[in-house]
Amino acid sequence: MENGRAIEILRVEDSPANVRLTQGAIRMAEPVTRILLVGDSPPDAQLLRAILAEPDVVRYEVTHVQRLTEAVRYLQADRFDITLLDLSLPDSQGMETVRNIRREAPGVPIVVLTGLDDETLGIAAVREGAQDYLVKGQSDRRLLVRAIRYAIERHRAEEALARYRDHLEELVVQRTEALAATNAVLQEQIVERARAEEALDAARHKLETERERQRLSLASELHDSVGQELIGMKFTLERVMATSKAGLTDSALAGMKEAVSQCSDLIREVRAISHGLYPPALRAFGLTQALKHVGGDGQQGIPVVVTTDAALEAARFPNDIEITLYRITQEALLNAQRHSRATRIAIHLGCDGDHAVLTITDDGVGFSPDKVAGRGLGFISMNERVANLGGTFNVRSEPGETRIEVRVPSQACATHE
337 contact choice in ligand ADP, Mg ion, none (CB below 5 to 8 Å, kind-dependent): none
Q: Answer yes or no: are the C-beta atoms of 82 and 43 closer than 8 Å.
A: no
Q: Does 378 bind ligand ADP (CB under 6 A)?
A: yes
Candidates 157-165, 192-200, 262-270, 373-381: pick the segment binding ligand ADP (CB under 6 A). Answer: 373-381
Which residues of the shown chain bind Mg ion in the complex (CB under 5 A)?
Answer: 335, 378
Q: Which amino acid is at 118?
A: D
Nearest residue to 53 (alpha-carbon basis) of 19, 12, 5, 10? 5
Q: Does 379 bind ligand ADP (CB under 6 A)?
A: yes
Q: Which amino acid is at 18?
A: N
Which CB sits closer to Mg ion, 88 or 383? 383
Q: Does 340 bind ligand ADP (CB under 6 A)?
A: yes
Q: Does 377 bind ligand ADP (CB under 6 A)?
A: yes
Which CB sits closer to ligand ADP, 232 or 399? 399
Which CB sits closer to ligand ADP, 227 or 366? 366
Least distance from C-beta 228 to ligand ADP, angstroms?
35
Q: Does 409 bind ligand ADP (CB under 6 A)?
A: no
Distance CA 233, CA 254 (A): 17
Q: Does 361 bind ligand ADP (CB under 6 A)?
A: no
Residue in 227, 286, 295, 364 binding ligand ADP, rule: CB under 6 A: 364
227 contact choice in Mg ion, ligand ADP, none (CB below 5 to 8 Å, kind-dependent): none
Nearest residue to 405 (alpha-carbon basis) of 330, 326, 349? 349
Candidates 83-91, 108-116, 117-125, 359-367: pick the segment binding ligand ADP (CB under 6 A). Answer: 359-367
| 229: CB partners within 8 A, 6+ apart | none
Q: Answer yes or no: are the C-beta atoms of 205 and 319 closer than 8 Å.
A: no
Least distance from C-beta 399 to ligand ADP, angstroms?
10
Task: State the burial class of residue 371 (Cβ atoms within 10 Å of its Cβ: 0-12, 13-18, 19+).
Answer: exposed
Q: Answer yes or no: are the C-beta atoms of 144 and 134 closer than 8 Å.
A: yes
* R_g (Cα) of the chain, nearest Å: 52
For residues 179-194, b (16+ Cβ closer than 10 Å) or e, as one string?
eeeeeeeeeeeeeeee
362 contact choice in ligand ADP, Mg ion, none (CB below 5 to 8 Å, kind-dependent): ligand ADP
Q: Answer yes or no: are the C-beta atoms of 326 and 290 closer than 8 Å.
A: yes
329 contact choice in Mg ion, ligand ADP, none (CB below 5 to 8 Å, kind-dependent): none
Parallel/antiparallel/unpaired status of strands 392-398 and 401-409:
antiparallel
Q: Does 115 bind ligand ADP (CB under 6 A)?
A: no
Distance CA 26, CA 143 (A): 28
Q: Does 383 bind ligand ADP (CB under 6 A)?
A: no
Parallel/antiparallel/unpaired status of strands 304-308 and 345-352:
parallel
A 10 A CB-CB count for 85 gives 26
372 contact choice in ligand ADP, Mg ion, none (CB below 5 to 8 Å, kind-dependent): ligand ADP
Residue in 328, 336, 406, 413 binding ligand ADP, rule: CB under 6 A: 336
Which position's Cβ is nearest ligand ADP? 376
Element containing residue 32 per DSSP (H, E)? strand 32-38
Q: Does 337 bind ligand ADP (CB under 6 A)?
A: no
Q: CA angle 313-314-316, nearest 5°? A: 115
Q: Does 402 bind ligand ADP (CB under 6 A)?
A: yes
Distance CA 218, CA 239 (A): 30
Least distance from C-beta 346 to ligand ADP, angstroms?
12
Least distance from C-beta 363 to ligand ADP, angstroms?
10
Candidates 62-70, 163-171, 236-244, 366-374: pick the segment binding ligand ADP (CB under 6 A). Answer: 366-374
Contacts with ligand ADP, residue ranges (CB under 6 A): 335-336, 339-340, 362, 364-367, 372, 376-379, 402
